[in-house]
Copies of this chain bind each other. A is one copy, B any other.
Amino acid sequence: MSTNREDGGSRRQGGAAFLLAQLGAHAAARFAEGIAELDLTPAQAGVLRLLARTPGRSQRELADELGMPPSRFVPFADKLEERGLIERRRNPGDRRLYALHLTDEGVTLLSALGEVAAAHEQRMCQALTPDEHEQLRALLARMAAQQGLSPGVHPGYRQVRPDRVHRPREPHSPEESRTPDQGGND
């Protein structure tokens, strides 16, 4: 047992680590909802951001960084290429590997994505004052660095599909009324 005072409220909500996992999953799910309006998944948003920072990376590199096997990266990149967001260029020096680049359309979408991210940031931190918000960011950044997390990527990118939303008890949200009757017998 820990020597910290774990009575009362702190025990019921769990420690910082639990709250981190809980809020982190929540944040990821809400972000996925937000970018779904751009028809993007978290993994897709992640690779766009990676390519914006370092263009010309090979599929192998990106797959490795995102934590997905190369075999899964191929159809993943295919979709982005079909949508005209990224572009495969042959590397003259080594014709085995592609160099991936953002298209102009990809850059445009990336900026829209930035707006979504900003709105998401505000919504997540509604409960905090601007001062606390910055305080929190600083604490988290320090923790992430100490834990050896590389900036810009997180394990959720492994998943192709965004997290399903879990709503145990929703205080304020329009229910997506899913018709209990499928509308026909089948």
On A, residues with C-beta under 8 Å from B are: 1-4, 9-10, 12-29, 31, 64-65, 67, 111, 114-115, 117-118, 120-122, 124-128, 132-133, 135-158, 163-166, 168-176, 178
Contacts and interface: CB of A to CB of B under 8 A. Distances in A.
A170 B149 CA distance: 8
Nearest to A64: B168
A118 B1 contact: yes
> In the assembly, how many copies of this chain are there?
2
A12 B150 contact: no
B1 A115 contact: yes
Contacts of A146: 126-127
A121 B17 CA distance: 5
A15 B56 CA distance: 25
Contacts of A168: 64-65, 67, 150, 153
